[in-house]
Amino acid sequence: MTDRKAQAKAILENMLSTTINDQLIDQQTASTFAGGLANLSMQAVFEPLWTDERMDLRTRSLVTVAILIALRAKEELEIHCAAAIRNGATIDDLEQVVYQAAGYAGFPAAASARWIMSKALADAGLLDRSPA
């Protein structure tokens, strides 16, 4: 295993829930439909990007959340908003990303993200309030 691969796996173990980590490992060894996608994500995203120390993990997580809001990538947003907290972001940081996204990605994308993120953070035990 390369140093970058080991470093990427350690970052993932710290930032993702145990359940998500287990699913990622299972997907890397499974022979299911598009089973190679997990390996591709390691090689194309996690190894080169998340291990690059020129940007800290907190900032990298906030940028990722903003991009996922703009893309309306619901499933990934659910994972990455809790991961951002584990990487040092605060609830206030995430709220500011939603507000910023409203101006640049559009109100519907931001409003959808608000609901997705509120539920995901509450499910992870990181938020004790629901959106009004």
Q: How many domains is the chain built from?
A: 2
* pTM, two decimal places: 0.88
Residue in the block written with tokens 């120390």:
53
Residue in the block written with tokens 């499974």:
30
Classify burial at 124, counting beta carbons within 10 Å of its beta carbon; exposed 0-12, middle 13-18, buried 19 or more.
middle
The per-residue pLDDT for range 33-68, each reduced to its tens digit, is: 787 888 888 899 999 999 999 999 999 999 999 999
The per-residue pLDDT for range 85-125, each reduced to its tens digit, is: 999 999 999 999 999 999 999 999 999 999 999 999 999 89
Q: What residues make up the domain containing 35?
A: 1-54
Separation CA 48–CA 40 (nearest Å): 11
**95 and 65 share a domain?**
yes
**78 and 42 share a domain?**
no
Separation CA 124–CA 126 (nearest Å): 5
- The CATH number for 120's domain is 1.20.1290.10
